[in-house]
Structure 1
Amino acid sequence: MPEERIQRRLAAILAADVVGYSRMMSEDESGTLAMLKQRRQEVLAPLVSQHGGRIFKLMGDGVLVEFPSVVDAVQCAVDVQKGMAAQNAALPANKQVLLRVGVNLGDVIVEGSDLYGDGVNLASRIEGLAQPGGICLSDTAHHHVASKLSLDYHDMGEQSLKNIAKPVRVYSVGPGAVSAGSDEQPQQRDKPAIVVLPFTNMSGDPEQEFFADGLTEDILTELSRFRELLVISRNTSSRYKGKAVEVKKIAKELGVDYLLEGSVRKVGNRVRITVQLIDAVADRHIWADRYDRDLADIFAMQDEVTSSVVATLPRRVESATRERAANKPTENMAAYECVLTGKLLHHRSNKADNAAALEMLERATKLDPKYAHAHAWLACTLGQSWVNGFCADRDATWNRMLEELQTAYALDSDDSDVHRILAAVSLARDDFDKATYHQERALTLNPNDDLVVVQQGEVLTWLGRPEEGIDWIKKAMRLNPYHPERFWNHLGRAYFVAHRYAEAVDAFKRITALDHTHHAFLAAAHAQMGNQAEMRSHAGDVLSLKPDFTVESYLPTVHYKRPEDRDHHRASLLKAGLPA
């Protein structure tokens, strides 16, 4: 008789087991068994089903699950670990159920409902390398999910595994992606998690269904560019389409902090789009907006609304998370919360707040040494200290800033903030080619980040293209209506370089607390317009705030590429009566 042909298929395999199972059983056998049964029924089984998986083997302390998609397998692993962490939060350490999880994509042998072969064995071996509460991926699994799931991956190098012929490269998923955020373990949460729920079509028009789905997907895709957010995948969020929004339930299932929901309604030749950002922990709305647009160009409208939502949302999340952090004891703040506080202090641009920002950002890098975003913002704040003379040793500060930037770049060369800050540093050195390269890279990585967009305007201004710079700065202001006040400073400078003095004055006057550099621009602009009284008043304010001010010592702090722009600024300051 002919030999029976072995049935094979490609599958994503998730392997998980309980850490310390033998100890738990010896201490409380019946309680441990009851706990594991409860976790399987309430956490594991629903999430496996939700992500399209199939449990094909249960052991006393472990489970093997098959998925047709490796993206779903990894997202399920993340969500399971979040669900386990959420249920562990109220338990003492010796009662907590901690899982190790491994995921592999490989060839498996099918026998009835069971699966065998290296594809299964490798997932089990990789799982043993995971930290308690952690996840490890094979190289093949990582290759397929790295560009699709925004997680914190760490290369563990090649690993020799029992009964596996060749060494296998393994990646771990950083704890910030899977932690439920415990006060006792602040290092386990370095970014807030958000889910973008499918937008609801309120029109009853099937054509608007496609528009609503497209808008949801575009917002989710663009939001994923912000490295400071963990954005739940589309495959996961799409399972809530057409269902009533139960905030607490969704938050618990996905382990998220925030939900974005929205609706689309067509009325005649107009479309109304509403969006709402919900704090899932407090179950309250923290931001909402409405967009009324003509249907003339539906794709242009989709792009415009996407940009507006995506530019505003991360700053609203930052603000809400900062409010939460303000209610915690300082010693319990997580790395992400330290970065938020550091950013807020940095934006105030004074010596005392700069020093406080450095403290918070130093702490963030100690809580999580591999947190690229924290290193980038520490470099940014050191740069602010260097530019404004807040530091005692300028050379040491400059060198430390470069070290932090190099660290950030090595950890995550695709973080738009890293390139944004490298561009700013290059400008400070008058290295316009490098500034242009890093700025364009930052813009490519995240074209909806208002800080990147406003800096595009700033760079163009220094390159001698102020009219283009004005357009970019105004775009940043439209993108983020809650923009920092310093955007007016960038706009005022661009108008001044463009010889649009009245508009420059109007921009600078929108700044609440004017410093000596603002007064210098105002004095120069009024001098060019022939407003003698205003000119003298602002020139006096310059010398009052900085008695040792001279034009020649000030000009190196503004970074013009074209000599004629520098000459124009020098002549304007001298015309205002400021000392040479």
Structure 2
Amino acid sequence: SSSAAAVAQAETVNRWSKFLMGGIALVLVIVVAAAAVYYLRSKSGPGKVSSIAVLPFVNATADSGNEYLSDGLTESLIGTLSQLPDLKVMARSTVFRFKGSQEDPRQIGESLKVGAVLVGRITQHGDEVGVQADLVNTSDGTELWGSHYDRKMADITQVQSDITRDISNSLRSRLSSAATEHLGNAGTTNAEAYRLYLEGRQLWYGRTRPGLTRSIDLFQQAMAADPNYALAYTGLAETYIVAPAYEMGVSSKQARTVADEITRKALQLDPSLAEAHTARAMALSQAWRWKEAEQEYRRSLELNPNNANTHYFYAMEFLVSEKRIDEALEEFRTAMSLDPLSAIVNTNYAAVLTFAHRYDEALGQFQKTLQRDPEFRPAHYKLSQLLAIMGRYGDAINELQKFKFVPGTFSPDAHGYLALTLASSPSSDYMSVEAAAYALAGDRENALKYLERAYEEADEELILAIRLPAFDSIRSEPRYKEIVRKIGVPE
């Protein structure tokens, strides 16, 4: 019918439009990054910019469907600029707090304690897309640099080739070879693969079960469009790594097996991709392959020393497990300097202070985090653990109810806390946490039994849970020592 034909034609136009927008994104991220890098690296003396925040680019295309493009361009610029070892770049989760904000960029820069902010907007006029990018001095609000870029859709392939060549030639002496290689391309020359990756990554950051499920499909489509696109493999691996926490029907064992296979493939495609080394390190940590995991974390930090996520996961997934608590806290402080507004980084910094028996500091850190993010459920969850360890069971129960409300009355003691913990645990991946509640209630047998089950099921929380002071009362037990020995970490 004519209506069906019209719908089909509209869908074709939409797909073609998205394809072209993806190609434009490939070019624009290269152009804007190159210009910003050239300016930043050419400055010297007292006026040199040593820290920057790339604020979320504004989607002014009149099509909300292009939001993935403005977000993706922002993320790509953060990733490119963070490869410079002497430039501190604020992480995505911090700068995206300001998405849609009407606050003066200078004030945002001051609050983040950076020397400059990069702001931008994307527009579309017919077959042409434009990007306005401006670098603003935080100290006085002056524009340090600004430029406008227009790209015809029909010229994308040739323009991208020219810009890549010119940037590689002009910046080769200023950047490491790895940074030059990644500045010159976005990981793929396939516009459709790039678009699919950006859409998948946008959903990944949203951290909802439906969004993560959809991101798996989008990353797989990106891999099909370009089988050599290492970033798409990395995105897929990272989705599987976080899947067990979102009750997506993927067990910890399944997740780490899939992530292990995918990250190996990503690194075969691009051994110099820092994100792939981090994802592989996470998969290896979850598989309790500690020596290999540390090698991957260290390699990732060599390639990109300013990646807040790598510092965070190195601390949380490896150093804590190895009982290198002081080193873990130092890595956390580095991560927080790059990503000061991240709720999860701030929450788990408090958790590691708990592991270190620094309860007052941990309590203050939890309170600071919840003042900024009162609805952040993981903070309530881990604060409840601290309060229970401190013997404040009534307060612990109140916090745990904020994590997941369970109808009923629970006595304000260790047994009431245990009952609520058992009732609120979302999946079998929390058996080690239940074991901690049993230990606090004085039930050594069930504490050990649940830890043994957590080991058998490869509970993803186990390697962190064993550092909880709740287990201090059973650490001398042979069964506890055997569990720790099999995991392969210090007691």
Q: What is the TM-score of this pair, normalised by structure 1?
A: 0.44
Cα pair 1:528 1:572 within 8 Å, conserved? no
Q: 2:425 maps to which residue?
A: 546
Q: 2:479 maps to which residue?
A: none
- In the alignment, the residues of structure 2 paired with residue 558 and residue 518 of structure 1 have an alpha-carbon distance, to the nearest angstrom, of 15
- In the alignment, the residues of structure 2 paired with residue 358 and residue 381 of structure 1 have an alpha-carbon distance, to the nearest angstrom, of 7
From 237, 241, 253, give the equivalent of 1:379: 237
Q: 2:306 maps to which residue?
A: 448
Q: 2:325 maps to which residue?
A: 466
Q: 1:477 maps to which residue?
A: 336
- In the alignment, the residues of structure 1 paired with residue 52 and residue 346 of structure 2 have an alpha-carbon distance, to the nearest angstrom, of 30
Q: CA deviation at 1:572?
A: 8.3
Residues 1:276 and 1:228: Cα distance change in structure 2 (over 3 Å): closer
From 518, 524, 538, give the equivalent of 2:385: 524
Q: Secondary structure at the match of 1:557?
A: coil
**Residue type of the partner of 2:336?**
M
Cα pair 2:259 2:283 within 8 Å, conserved? no
- In the alignment, the residues of structure 2 paired with residue 507 and residue 573 of structure 1 have an alpha-carbon distance, to the nearest angstrom, of 28
From 271, 275, 285, give the equivalent of 1:417: 275
Q: Does 1:404 align with 2:262?
A: yes
Q: 2:460 maps to which residue?
A: 557
Q: 1:278 maps to which residue?
A: 120
Q: CA deviation at 1:519?
A: 5.2
Q: 2:297 maps to which residue?
A: 439
Name the stretch that deviates more: 421-430 or 464-473. 464-473
Q: Does 1:535 align with 2:396?
A: yes
- In the alignment, the residues of structure 2 paired with residue 348 and residue 541 of structure 1 have an alpha-carbon distance, to the nearest angstrom, of 29
- In the alignment, the residues of structure 2 paired with residue 393 and residue 512 of structure 1 have an alpha-carbon distance, to the nearest angstrom, of 30
Cα pair 2:357 2:469 within 8 Å, conserved? no
Residues 1:283 and 1:546: Cα distance change in structure 2 (over 3 Å): same
Alignment of 1:181-580 (within 5 A): 183-185=18-20, 188=23, 191=26, 192-193=29-30, 194=32, 195-197=34-36, 199=39, 210-211=44-45, 273-279=115-121, 281=123, 284=132, 288=136, 290=138, 334-386=192-244, 388-391=246-249, 397-458=255-316, 459-483=318-342, 485-508=343-366, 510=370, 512-513=374-375, 515=377, 521-537=382-398, 538=400, 539=417, 542-546=421-425, 550-551=434-435, 552=450, 556-558=459-461, 560=463, 566=467, 568-571=469-472
Cα pair 1:226 1:446 within 8 Å, conserved? no
Cα pair 2:200 2:218 within 8 Å, conserved? yes
Residues 1:475 and 1:570: Cα distance change in structure 2 (over 3 Å): same
More strand by share: 1
- In the alignment, the residues of structure 1 paired with residue 138 and residue 117 of structure 2 have an alpha-carbon distance, to the nearest angstrom, of 7
Residues 1:362 and 1:389: Cα distance change in structure 2 (over 3 Å): same
- In the alignment, the residues of structure 1 paired with residue 344 and residue 117 of structure 2 have an alpha-carbon distance, to the nearest angstrom, of 27
- In the alignment, the residues of structure 1 paired with residue 118 and residue 217 of structure 2 have an alpha-carbon distance, to the nearest angstrom, of 34
Deviations 1:220-252 (A, max 9, x none): xxxxx9798678xx9xxxxxxxxxxxxxxxxxx
- In the alignment, the residues of structure 2 paired with residue 345 and residue 280 of structure 1 have an alpha-carbon distance, to the nearest angstrom, of 20
Cα pair 1:278 1:285 within 8 Å, conserved? yes
Q: CA deviation at 1:404?
A: 1.7
Q: Secondary structure at the match of 1:390?
A: coil
Unaligned runs of 5+ in 1: 1-180, 202-207, 220-224, 235-261, 264-271, 293-309, 311-331, 575-580
Q: 2:182 maps to which residue?
A: none
Bigger radius of gyration among the two: 1
Q: Secondary structure at the match of 1:380?
A: helix
RCO greater where, 1 or 2, for CA within 8 Å and sep 6 or more? Answer: 2
- In the alignment, the residues of structure 2 paired with residue 518 and residue 217 of structure 1 have an alpha-carbon distance, to the nearest angstrom, of 29
Cα pair 2:197 2:219 within 8 Å, conserved? yes
Deviations 1:423-449 (A, max 9, x none): 111111112111111101111110011
Q: CA deviation at 1:211?
A: 2.4
- In the alignment, the residues of structure 2 paired with residue 392 and residue 456 of structure 1 have an alpha-carbon distance, to the nearest angstrom, of 23
Cα pair 2:252 2:460 within 8 Å, conserved? no
- In the alignment, the residues of structure 2 paired with residue 391 and residue 449 of structure 1 have an alpha-carbon distance, to the nearest angstrom, of 30
Cα pair 1:522 1:535 within 8 Å, conserved? yes
Q: 1:138 maps to which residue?
A: none
Unaligned runs of 5+ in 2: 1-15, 54-74, 85-104, 107-113, 124-129, 141-174, 176-189, 401-416, 436-449, 476-491
Q: Secondary structure at the match of 1:439?
A: helix
Residues 1:416 and 1:543: Cα distance change in structure 2 (over 3 Å): same
Deviations 1:159-192 (A, max 9, x none): xxxxxxxxxxxxxxxxxxxxxx964446746742
Q: Secondary structure at the match of 2:138?
A: strand
What is the percent sequence identity of the aligned residues?
18
Residues 1:383 and 1:446: Cα distance change in structure 2 (over 3 Å): same
Residues 1:388 and 1:278: Cα distance change in structure 2 (over 3 Å): closer
